[in-house]
Amino acid sequence: MRRLSRTLLAWALMVALGVLWVKSDDLAGFLRWYTGLEEVPGAGQPSTDAPGEPDSEPEVGADGEAGDGGPIVGERQAMLGRLTLAMSEWLPAGDASTGLMLQQQYAPLATSDDPVDRLCAAALDARFGDPVQALETTRELAAQESEWPEFARAASLQGDVISAVIARQQGDADAGVDPALLESLQGSMGWYGVFLSDTIEPDPSFRARESASAMRIVAALGGFGCLVVLGGLVGLVWLAIAGWRALSHPTALARAPRADEGDRYAWTFVVIFGVMAGTGLALSVMLGGSSATAEPAPETVEMGIGGLVVQMAVMVIPLVGLAWACRGGRSWTQVRQDVGLTAGAGVVREIGYGVLTWCAAVPIAAVGFVLAFILSALTGQSVSDATHPIQEAIADGGFAVRLALLVLAAVCAPLVEEIVFRGVLYRHLRERLGGLGHLASFAVAALASSALFAAIHPQGIVFAPILAGLGVAFCIARELRGSLIAPMVAHGINNALVVGLNIALFS
């Protein structure tokens, strides 16, 4: 009874730490305010900002020119615009269905609550949709966000350009825009300013760049898609074979250690997860921004290579919590065996199973996508809004930063996360729930550990089923192989492909 109570207490602390992790930005904002690191309350305090407005307004001079705030448009909006323009290069011009397909491509911008998103959608509508409606939307947004000077100014400039576009379509060949106004629009709207400038005054150099960009985007997405489809087909076959064997012989596939260690690894996970949350929170309080440490965080990315080295250290530090598992005289050799830090059937063979595991993760993640879209419909949050801070870092970083991000996401994160979630947490839940039977205990342990794994990522609740699906696939590899090499390799392949795709798209 006493051991059960200790296990239940450990589980309660796991849940509490998970909640702390999800709400850590709010807590970090309060601590920065409370300790005087910020003059005003941070996250978690009431805000009067517009949905898409930055935390602090850009400086605006007496002449109405923008200060050093830069464009109000971020890389996410710019990339969606580039993808739409790239699609337009490959669809038949003048076809009625082409406009509808392009509008569906940027629908997440048009239906967003963020005024910057809707302003970008209006810019795209000026060329691919109804320019009159685009002008009306732009003027409405300018009026709604009149207290945000830079946004109102950008919307006003955009309205002037769209008015000229409409005049041109109505036969006024002399309708134009002052070049100085176009330059100001480009400074306020970034890529969309250049796009609108090209709409009113065609720029051969811009079109050549975007045509080359379209080729790169199509090649990157096409190659990624083919790889995912091929891997998914292989994974389906492997899952069917493994599933049939599991149902026919439930004990034949159980290769993970089964020694009953009570609450040893429950408390080991609590210690590690507590250190992860604590170091991430401390980093956030000191530097500001997100406190998530399982993935590259924006506040350290902004510091360049030095910040990424700090991030790597923050990732690795929690693993000192494995020492907790050695208490009571248990040897490090046995702990390594318990958590799967072994060569299994041989490093080369386990790496091969890692590739196979990634293939199996594709169809399972596809199920997660279906659940994500259902969750999106229920919550009103778009799946396309589930972005990661690393995307901004890739867009803004040079070669060295992008290479460091690739190492961080494809090597460091998989090593640490697999040890923590599949090595420690999954192992504990699997052995503690063994009384449910082989298949039931595996299912519950895999789902529970994968849910917590998904929760620590910054993409939000809508994207969680997809991440949890990946986690379940990694648990299957942990169960079948015993060693963590296969799930680490699969995790690394997945992150490398996603980061590599982003590098290709943002280059």
pLDDT the model gives residue 459: 81
Segment 458-471, tens digit of pLDDT: 887 888 999 999 99
Render 459-495 in DSSP notation, one character per residue: T-GGGHHHHHHHHHHHHHHHHHHSSSHHHHHHHHHHH
**349 with 487: CB under 8 angstroms?**
no
Percent of the chain with pLDDT over 90: 28
**420 with 276: CB under 8 angstroms?**
yes
Give dist(CA 490, CA 45) in Å, integer: 40
Residue 91 has pLDDT above 60, yes or no: yes
pLDDT the model gives residue 275: 85
Mean pLDDT (whole number) for 3-20: 72
Segment 130-152, tens digit of pLDDT: 899 999 999 999 888 878 888 98
pLDDT the model gives residue 472: 96
pLDDT the model gives residue 68: 44
pLDDT the model gives residue 502: 86
Give the pLDDT band (50/70/90) at residue 47. very low
Mean pLDDT (whole number) for 487-506: 92
36, burial (CB in 10 Å: exposed 0-12, middle 13-18, buried 19+): exposed
Assign residue 324 a region (left: φ > 0; alpha: ψ between -120 and 50; beta: otherwise). Answer: alpha
Please give the sequence-ordered ranges of beta strands (E in DSSP) within 15-148, or none if there are none.
none
Distance between first and last Cα of the chain: 59
Give dist(CA 403, CA 493) in Å, integer: 15
Residue 237 has pLDDT above 90, yes or no: yes
359, burial (CB in 10 Å: exposed 0-12, middle 13-18, buried 19+): buried
Tokens coding 389: 């801070």
More confident residue, 104 or 305: 104
Lowest-pLDDT range of 42-51, 396-405, 428-437: 42-51
Mean pLDDT (whole number) for 394-420: 87
| DSSP structure class, residue 252 | T
More confident residue, 357 or 24: 357
Q: To the nearest whole number, what is the mean pLDDT of the chain?
A: 80
Distance of CA 86 to the CA centre of its chain: 23
Residue 347 has pLDDT above 90, yes or no: yes
pLDDT the model gives residue 235: 95
248 φ/ψ angles, rounded to the nearest 5 degrees? -80, -40
Tokens coding 412: 């460091």
Segment 260-295, tens digit of pLDDT: 566 888 889 989 888 887 777 776 666 554 444 445
**67 with 93: CB under 8 angstroms?**
no
Residue 22 has pLDDT above 80, yes or no: no
Which pTM value belongs to this model?
A: 0.78
Residue (of 275, 220, 241, 231) closest to 424 by Cα position? 275
pLDDT the model gives residue 122: 93
**389 with 296: CB under 8 angstroms?**
yes
Mean pLDDT (whole number) for 216-228: 89
Distance of CA 52 to the CA centre of its chain: 19
Residue 432 has pLDDT above 70, yes or no: yes
Tokens coding 414: 């998989």
Give dist(CA 198, CA 98) in Å, integer: 20
Helix (H, G, I), strand (E, B), or coil: what is residue 66?
strand
Residue (of 111, 112, 106) closest to 87 by Cα position? 106
More confident residue, 31 or 102: 102
pLDDT the model gives residue 305: 64
Give dist(CA 211, CA 255) in Å, integer: 52
Residue 409 has pLDDT above 50, yes or no: yes
Residue that the structure tokens 């170091």 belong to: 279
| DSSP structure class, residue 60 | B
| DSSP structure class, residue 329 | G
